[in-house]
């Protein structure tokens, strides 16, 4: 076959492509992009406690607040001012609402409180002394003794409770109502901090002014 004729016939030979070929089901990588498998992506974590509180249904938020201070008006007021931009704003609102408790609301909140917890290894004689002191307190004031113990070492809890209850037994009912209201406010504050995960302890709060020394007393 002449070279001139061979130039006009179709060629039966194809060139082999250079380099490895891609399977039909795969796409070539796109420049500048990285494929991340879905299972490798980190799942979003739970929202922060304050965000959960801000976005919770009203009934859930009120129930959480009632566990901090058993006053329905207090819980409704604090829940009704959501959302709070930070924990400090929530604590300030809780304090203000606690200062505004009426005498009846304070009595209801005190009625829902239990006696302060003591270390498990408290000896029996101390329990006897405490029982007598609590009974005398309740007989005089009509409600259980409440005290904020934040910052008090556990080994000093018994002495602090006994010291305070004996000291406060000397108060007249009106003065003791002011002291008890302050202790409840501080207890509510610490329980809120525990709800927000801001404290590693469930012990009552000890920040704020000393009992009976704040400028504003609850209205009569």
> CA 182, 188, 193 angle in degrees (round to 5)?
130
Those residues with Cβ within 8 angstroms of residue 180's Cβ, 6 or more apart along the chain or in another chain = 106, 110, 141, 143, 146
Instruction: Name the least confident of 53-67, 78-92, 112-126, 202-216.
Output: 202-216
Share of the chain above pLDDT 70, in %: 70
Give pLDDT, residue 211.
33
Q: Is the pLDDT of residue 41 over 80?
A: no
70's tokens: 């058993």
Q: Is the pLDDT of residue 213 over 90?
A: no
Q: Is the pLDDT of residue 21 over 90?
A: no
Instruction: Name the least confident of 47-51, 92-96, 128-132, 163-167.
Output: 128-132
Give pLDDT, residue 15.
52
For residue 185, give the nearest of 115, 82, 110, 131 by alpha carbon.
110
Give pLDDT, residue 36.
46
Each residue's pLDDT tens digit, 116-143? 777 777 778 888 888 899 999 999 999 9
The Cα–Cα gap between 79 and 76 comes to 5
* Residue bearing the bigger pLDDT, 186 or 206: 186
Which residue reads 């891609």 in tokens? 22
28-43 average pLDDT score: 49
Give pLDDT, residue 87.
95
Q: Is the pLDDT of residue 115 over 90?
A: no
Q: What is the pTM of this model?
A: 0.67
Using an 8 Å Cβ cutoff, are 114 and 202 in contact?
no
166's tokens: 């004996």
Each residue's pLDDT tens digit, 147-159? 988 888 888 888 8
Using an 8 Å Cβ cutoff, are 158 and 172 in contact?
no
Under the banding of pLDDT at 50, 70 and 90, the label for residue 42 is: low
Fold of domain 49-195: UraD-like (1.10.3330)
214's tokens: 């704040």
Give pLDDT, residue 209.
34
Cβ atoms within 10 Å of 216's Cβ, excluding its own: 10
Using an 8 Å Cβ cutoff, are 44 and 65 in contact?
no
* Residue bearing the bigger pLDDT, 14 or 69: 69
15-44 average pLDDT score: 49
Which residue reads 């409840």 in tokens? 184
When computed from its CA atoms, the radius of gyration of the chain, rounded to whole angstroms, is 35
Domain ranges of the chain: 49-195
197-202 average pLDDT score: 54
């Amino acid at each position: 076959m002449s070279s001139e004729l061979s130039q006009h016939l179709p060629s039966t030979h194809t060139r082999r492509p250079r380099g490895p070929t891609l399977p039909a089901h795969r796409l070539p990588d796109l420049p500048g992009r990285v494929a991340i498998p879905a299972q490798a992506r980190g799942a979003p974590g739970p929202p922060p406690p304050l965000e959960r509180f801000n976005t919770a249904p009203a009934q859930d938020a009120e129930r959480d607040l009632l566990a901090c201070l058993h006053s329905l008006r207090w819980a409704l007021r604090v829940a009704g001012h959501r959302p709070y931009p930070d924990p400090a704003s929530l604590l300030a609102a809780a304090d203000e609402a606690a200062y505004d408790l009426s005498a009846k609301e304070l009595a209801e909140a005190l009625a829902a409180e239990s006696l302060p917890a003591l270390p498990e290894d408290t000896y029996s004689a101390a329990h006897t002394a405490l029982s007598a002191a609590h009974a005398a307190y309740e007989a005089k004031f009509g409600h259980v003794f409440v005290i904020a113990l934040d910052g008090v070492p556990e080994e000093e809890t018994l002495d602090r409770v006994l010291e305070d209850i004996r000291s406060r037994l000397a108060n007249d009912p009106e003065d003791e109502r002011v002291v008890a209201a302050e202790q409840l406010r501080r207890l509510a504050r610490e329980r809120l901090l525990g709800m927000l995960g801001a404290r590693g302890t469930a012990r009552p709060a000890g920040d704020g002014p000393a009992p009976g020394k704040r400028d504003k007393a609850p209205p009569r």
